[in-house]
C-alpha cells in the first residue's frame, strides 16, 4: 500500500500523532496506550488486551495505584530537583514541564485527584516547602542528599572558623594597644619626708683659713658624685626600660606563636586519603581474605574513595574512606601527616601514647624541620612505604 498523500485525513492524523501529546481522557494508563479520538478509546476499552489488564488490576487495585503514585512522585521530584534546584517555583510550571514528556505517569492513575492535593501532600510529608499565594501554590524542593548536607556543614564550619579567627585577632590587637598605652604613661614621682638616722647628730661648719680651698674641693667632689649618681640612675632606667620592652616583645611573640599553634590544631578536614601511604582494610564485606590486610593507596578519586593495592597479593580494590584506617610504624620510622595544620609534612615517629591514643613526631621537611609535635591523634598520621 502506498504512502498517504499530504492532505489526506490519515496523513494529518499521523502528523498529529507524531507531535506527542494528545487529550488525557483518551489515554489508558493500565495499557499505557494513547488513543487519538473518542472512537479509538472506545474500541480500545472493548479490546481483549484491555480487559485482561482490568482483570489483573481488579485483583489488587491498591498495588497498582501505589506503584503509579510512587512513580509519579519520584519523577516529579527528580525533575523539580534537577531543573529548579532549591528555588521557589509555581507548582503548575513544574507540572506542565513534567507532562510534556510522552511517557509520563498521568495523575488520574495516582492517589491524588488534583495538583493542589499533590502539592499539599508534598508539604505534609516534608519533601518540599509549600505556601499558598493569590497566584496559586508555590513549592520549594528540600535537598536531603548527604553530599549536599555535608557541603553546607563544611561551609558553615568554615564561616564560623573565620569569624573565630577574626575575633581572636581583634582581641589580640586590642590587648597590644592597651599595653602600649600603659607603657607610654609616665611614672608619677613619690615624695618622702627627709629624716636623719641619728637625731642627736649635729651639723658642724669649719670656718678655718683653708675653708675656700677645702670648700672648692668638697664642692667638686660633691658635683662629681652627683654626676656619677645621675649617670648611674639614667643607665639603670634605660636598662630597666630595655628589659621591659624586651619582655613585652617576648610575651607578644609567644602569644602569636600560641595563636598560630591553636589555629593549626583547628585546621582539620573530614577527608584524609592521600596517595602513597600504607593503610589497613577494616571492612568484613570483602571476606576474610582482605580483612585486616595492609595496602598502599595508589589513587584517590574525589575525596572519600581510593584505589588501593594489597601489599601481600598485589590485588587492586576500590574502597571508601570508612573502610580504611591509618597504620602506625615502629618508633624511628617515617610517617606522613594527613590532617591538621601540619598536613603534608613528613616526620619521624618518636613515641606513642596508648592512653590518649596519640603520638609524638619530629618534622623533617619544610620550614618547620626539627620541630617536635606531640598529641597528634592516630588517625592524623600514617606509615609511608
Q: Which phi-psi region, left, alpha or beta, contains residue 219 (left: φ > 0; alpha: ψ -120 to 50)?
A: alpha
Q: C-alpha cell of 167?
A: 575575633
pLDDT per residue rounded down to tens, the chain (385 residues): 456 577 788 887 777 665 655 666 677 777 767 776 778 888 888 888 777 777 777 777 777 788 888 888 888 988 888 888 888 999 899 988 888 776 777 787 788 888 999 999 999 888 889 999 988 999 998 887 777 777 777 877 777 777 777 788 888 888 888 887 776 555 556 556 656 555 555 655 555 544 444 444 445 555 555 556 556 555 565 565 665 555 555 566 667 666 666 655 556 788 889 999 999 998 887 788 888 899 999 999 888 889 999 988 888 888 888 889 999 998 889 999 888 878 888 999 998 888 888 899 998 877 778 888 888 888 889 999 8
* Structural domains in the chain plus CATH codes: 60-146 (1.10.10.2030), 272-327 (2.30.30.140), 329-385 (2.30.30.30)
In this structure, the number of other CB atoms found within 10 A of the CB of residue 51 comes to: 11
Q: Which of 318, 285, 291, 320 is nearest to 304 (CA)?
A: 320
- DSSP for residue 114: S
Predicted local confidence at residue 163, as pLDDT: 73
The two most distant CA atoms of the chain are separated, in Å, by: 162
Predicted local confidence at residue 213, as pLDDT: 45
Predicted local confidence at residue 138, as pLDDT: 93
State how far the Cα of 383 lies from the Cα of 222, in Å rounded to an integer.
77
Q: What is the CA radius of gyration of the chain?
A: 43
Predicted local confidence at residue 214, as pLDDT: 46
Q: C-alpha cell of 255?
A: 602569644
Q: C-alpha cell of 192?
A: 618622702
Predicted local confidence at residue 118, as pLDDT: 92
State how far the Cα of 378 lies from the Cα of 5, in Å rounded to an integer.
81
Helix (H) / strand (E) element for 361: namely strand 358-363
| HEC readout, the chain | CCCCCCCCHHHHHHHHHHHCCCCHHHEECCCCEECCCHHHHHHHHCCHHHHHHHHHHHHCHHHHHHHHHHHHHHHHHHHHHHHCCCCEEEHHHHHHHHHCCCCCCCHHHCCCCCHHHHHHHHHHHCCEEEEEECCEEEEEECCCCHHHHHHHHHHHHHHHHHHHHHHHHHHHHHHHHHHHHHHHCCCCCCCCCCCCCCCCCCCCCCCCCCHHHHHHHHHHHHHHHHHHHHHHHHHHHHHHHHHHHHHHHHHHHHHHHHHHHHHHHHCCCCCCCCCCCEEEECCCCCCCCCCCCEEEEEEEECCCEEEEEECCCCCEEEEEHHHEEECCCCCCCEEEECCCCCCCCEEEEEEEECCCCEEEEEECCCCCCCCEEEEEEHHHEEECC
Any idea how long the chain is? 385
Predicted local confidence at residue 174, as pLDDT: 83
Predicted local confidence at residue 216, as pLDDT: 47
Amino acid at each position: 500500500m502506498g504512502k498517504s498523500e499530504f492532505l489526506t485525513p490519515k496523513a494529518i492524523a499521523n502528523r498529529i500523532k507524531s507531535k506527542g501529546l494528545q487529550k488525557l481522557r483518551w489515554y489508558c494508563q493500565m495499557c499505557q496506550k494513547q488513543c487519538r479520538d473518542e472512537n479509538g478509546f472506545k474500541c480500545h476499552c472493548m479490546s481483549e488486551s484491555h480487559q485482561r489488564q482490568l482483570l489483573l488490576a481488579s485483583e489488587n487495585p491498591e498495588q497498582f495505584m501505589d506503584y503509579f503514585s510512587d512513580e509519579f512522585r519520584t519523577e516529579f521530584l527528580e525533575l523539580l530537583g534537577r531543573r529548579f534546584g532549591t528555588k521557589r517555583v509555581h507548582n503548575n510550571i513544574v507540572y506542565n514541564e513534567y507532562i510534556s514528556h510522552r511517557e509520563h505517569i498521568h495523575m488520574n492513575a495516582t492517589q491524588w485527584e488534583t495538583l493542589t492535593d499533590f502539592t499539599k501532600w508534598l508539604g505534609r510529608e516534608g519533601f518540599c516547602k509549600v505556601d499558598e499565594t493569590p497566584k496559586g501554590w508555590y513549592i520549594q524542593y528540600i535537598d536531603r542528599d548527604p553530599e549536599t548536607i555535608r557541603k553546607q556543614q563544611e561551609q558553615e564550619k568554615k564561616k564560623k572558623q573565620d569569624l573565630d579567627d577574626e575575633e581572636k585577632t581583634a582581641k589580640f590587637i586590642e590587648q597590644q594597644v592597651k599595653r602600649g598605652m600603659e607603657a607610654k604613661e609616665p611614672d608619677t614621682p613619690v615624695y618622702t619626708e627627709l629624716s636623719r638616722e641619728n637625731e642627736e647628730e649635729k651639723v658642724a661648719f669649719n670656718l678655718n683659713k683653708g675653708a675656700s680651698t677645702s670648700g672648692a674641693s668638697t664642692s667638686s667632689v660633691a658635683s662629681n658624685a652627683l654626676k656619677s649618681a645621675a649617670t648611674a640612675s639614667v643607665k639603670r632606667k634605660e636598662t630597666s626600660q630595655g628589659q621591659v620592652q624586651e619582655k613585652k616583645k617576648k610575651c607578644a611573640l609567644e602569644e602569636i606563636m600560641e595563636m598560630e599553634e591553636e589555629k593549626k590544631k583547628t585546621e582539620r578536614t573530614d577527608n584524609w586519603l592521600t596517595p602513597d601511604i600504607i593503610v589497613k582494610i577494616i571492612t568484613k564485606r570483602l571476606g576474610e581474605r582482605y580483612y585486616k590486610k595492609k595496602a598502599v593507596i595508589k589513587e584517590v578519586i574525589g575525596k572519600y574513595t581510593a584505589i588501593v593495592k594489597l601489599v601481600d597479593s598485589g590485588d587492586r580494590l576500590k574502597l571508601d574512606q570508612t573502610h580504611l584506617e591509618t597504620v602506625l610504624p615502629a618508633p624511628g620510622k617515617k610517617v606522613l601527616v594527613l590532617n591538621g595544620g601540619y598536613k603534608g609534612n613528613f616526620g619521624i615517629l618518636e613515641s606513642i601514647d596508648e592512653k590518649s591514643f596519640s603520638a609524638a613526631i619530629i618534622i623533617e621537611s619544610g620550614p618547620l624541620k626539627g620541630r617536635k609535635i606531640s598529641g597528634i591523634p592516630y588517625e592524623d598520621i600514617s606509615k609511608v612505604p
